[in-house]
Structure 1
Amino acid sequence: MELRNKYYGRGNDEKFSLDKYLTKSELQIICQTRFDSNELEELRDCYVFASFTGISMYDLLVMQDYDIYNLATRTFIKYYQYKTGMFRTVRLFDIPLAIIRKYRGKFGQNQILPVSRFRGIGGPRKALNLLREIACSCGINKTLTFHVAHRTFMKTILLDNEIEFQLVQMICCKNVEQSKIEELDMRQLVKKIRKMKMQFN
């Protein structure tokens, strides 16, 4: 319980202080805000995707359609995680799947997200500048980064939906076997995210 409380932002060295992740209401505002600029809308969708998967910006840049696979009624993405040098398997829930469907086939045969404008020199800096615009447009007084998106996945999507800390470790850990991720019983979380999807629409 003490370890779990640490991740809920208690104590002097909180791992999840409020400025390090987005709350459910803040994430909902970002999802529902309309943008006049295509690049703002596209980056917002990438950011929401990262907030529901914990995937870093760098890894999003190189993901391809063939990284996605189905197992029974569930959909996963298996990708090479640049930071750890290992493969990671992530369950894709309704909102990330809706984002993939939105962009599939629009930016090349295998590209699943609109990330091409953020590749190369200056791409990450451009993304950070646009994230500032997104935060300002949404009235969110936080510095948006993809590290914040990763923490949002752990805190708001998993822990706040009563996913046990040990299970969160399995979902987010770099060295869990693919088969163990595939076997996780996440039916309750799926139901809760479906309700969130209705709110975000």
Structure 2
Amino acid sequence: MSKSTSILFFARKTTKLKNGESPIFVRITIDGQRLDISLKRSIDSKHWDSKKGKCKGNTLKAKENNRYIQHMNEKILKLINDLEIQEELSCKNLKACLNQEKDEHSIIGIFKKHNERCEKRIGIDMAEGTVERYRTCLKHTQDFIKMQYHLHDLPLGKINHQFICDFEHYFRTERKCSTNTTFKYLKNFKKITNLALANEWMRTDPFAKIKFKMEKVDKEYLDDEELNKLMNKKFEIRRLEVIKDLYIFCCFTGLAFSDVKSLNQEHIVTGIDGNSWIKSKRQKTKIEFEVPLFDIPKAILAKYKNDPVCQIQQKLLPVPSNQKMNAYLKEIADLCGINKNLSTHSARHTFATTVTLGNNLNIKAISKMMGHTNTRMTENYARAGEKLISNEMNKIQGVYQYG
């Protein structure tokens, strides 16, 4: 470098913070001009190595401080080099560049603000489950940045194609996620980068050359035999009996977890046929759906009419958290000898495949009951089972003659 420069990290031992520690500074000297900048970090002065300009020891705080010192040293060296190339190197210009970088938008900062806004929209135009996915994705993003970069946040300039590739690798290896789960998290993350692009906080799209290709997965559902086995099983343990009833209710109404959890008396109306119906809007999409209530779901509603949990919450059924319900369903499946990975969502698939399509109900009626905008969406849930195929093939039995 043509100009005389030096970088010194030091703990200001003459100053004590409220925690009794000394603040850490960096002193940059350019041709005799001096610039002291606080790193917003501190350390017990006896744990500071003045010769090496870093913290002593292997404590977590010492390691984090030293990583940040190294990060700042690299950043300052780069800025000094860039300013010297532009022939604008001075303490004043360096300070302006550092302040500009400090004011840069960061990925975690934007993610947090996005989630805070989503929290306020729960029940308005966003479902709790959607917001929960963003919360989880934020946590994974923070964990990844800490593991990969040893930092708590990154400026948007660091979110590039390589970051996305490394993030995908993290989900597949560290988190042991499937292809579809990995892509779902990355799509959540893409919402944040798209927000940054729309506000012109980012120059290039880190997802520009990345394509998501979801794998087709056969969703679990119960066939007639398994459904009857579950309905006829009696549990002495109340929590299992409750979860069994909730699951069966969903199997015969097609309601998703968030919809059955929010179900209250206002959603039960009298239909044009004079019978009771469930009429509401999907929590997830706000699309209207309507399902006639016949004997089985009616009996389940009557069973829990005076349940104390229902009365306190002003709901029709005592629905626990999705995590608890899924955990208990695995226990129920084992006790019933059902070798399938049951979840709250598999009940919706059972309604579409076994209860309705398997009994020759019209696909348009099924679509309306499930709150789908078109039958193509319904076809993702309702698959042709053996019973349906058999019924259809029997229609041509005897039509043709051989010999």
Q: Does the CA-based 8 Å contact 1:132-1:143 persist in structure 2?
A: yes
Match of 1:111 in 2: 315
Alignment partner of 1:69 is 2:269: yes
Code of the residue aligned with 1:113 in structure 2: it is L
**SS of alignment partner, residue 34 of structure 1:** coil
1:20 maps to amino acid: E
Partner of 2:230: 30
Q: Which residue of 2 aligns with 1:93?
A: 294
1:38-64 per-position Cα deviation (integer Å, ceiling 9, x unaligned): 111011100000001110111111111
SS in 2 for 1:150: helix
Change (3 A) 1:170 1:125: closer
Q: 5+ residue gaps in structure 2? A: 1-214, 375-403
Measured in 2, the distance between the counterparts of 1:168 and 1:125 equals 27
Task: Establish whether residue 142 from structure 1 lines up as the match of residue 340 from structure 2.
Answer: yes
CA contact (8 A) 1:88 1:175 kept: no
Q: Write the distance in 2 (CA, Å) between the matches of 1:156 and 1:14.
A: 20
Instruction: Tell whether 2:322 aligns with 1:124.
Output: yes
AA partner of residue 157 (structure 1): V
After superposition, the Cα gap between the structure-2 partners of 1:14 and 1:59, relative to the gap in structure 1 and judged at 3 Å, is same
Aligned-CA RMSD value: 2.1
SS of alignment partner, residue 79 of structure 1:
strand
- SS at structure 1 position matched to 2:228: helix
Contact conserved, 1:22 with 1:152, CA < 8 A, in 2? yes
- How far residue 165 of structure 1 moved from its aligned partner, in angstroms, is 2.6
- Looking at structure 1, the residues matched to 364 and 268 of structure 2 have their Cα atoms a distance apart, in angstroms, of 25
Percent of matched pairs sharing the same residue: 32
- Provide the secondary structure at the position in 2 that maps to 1:20: coil
Q: Any unmatched runs of 5+ in structure 1?
A: 1-12, 177-201
1:66–1:164 distance in 2 versus 1, CA, 3 Å = closer
Instruction: Answer whether contact 2:263 2:316 (CA < 8 A) is retained.
Output: yes
Distance 2:294 2:222 in 1: 18
Q: CA–CA distance in 2 between the matches of 1:46 and 1:127?
A: 9
C-alpha distance in 2, partners of 1:67/1:165?
24
CA deviations 1:115-138 (Å, max 9, x no partner) are: 1xx1xxxx2211111011110110
Change (3 A) 1:169 1:86: closer
Change (3 A) 1:160 1:56: same
Alignment of 1:142-181 (within 5 A): 142-175=340-373
Write the distance in 1 (CA, Å) between the matches of 2:362 and 2:267: 27
Following superposition, the deviation at residue 175 of structure 1 comes to 4.3
Letter paired with 2:318:
P
Which one-letter code corresponds to 2:278 in the other structure? I
Q: Secondary structure at the match of 1:88?
A: strand
1:152-173: CA deviations, max 9, x gaps?
0011111111113333233324
Displacement, 1:26? 0.5
**Residue 44 of structure 1 pairs with residue 248 of structure 2:** no
Taking the aligned partners of 1:124 and 1:101, their CA distance within structure 2 comes to 23
Matched-pair contact (CA < 8 Å) for 2:367–2:373: no
| Counterpart residue identity of residue 348, structure 2 | H
Considering only CA atoms, is the larger Rg found in Structure 1 or Structure 2?
A: 2
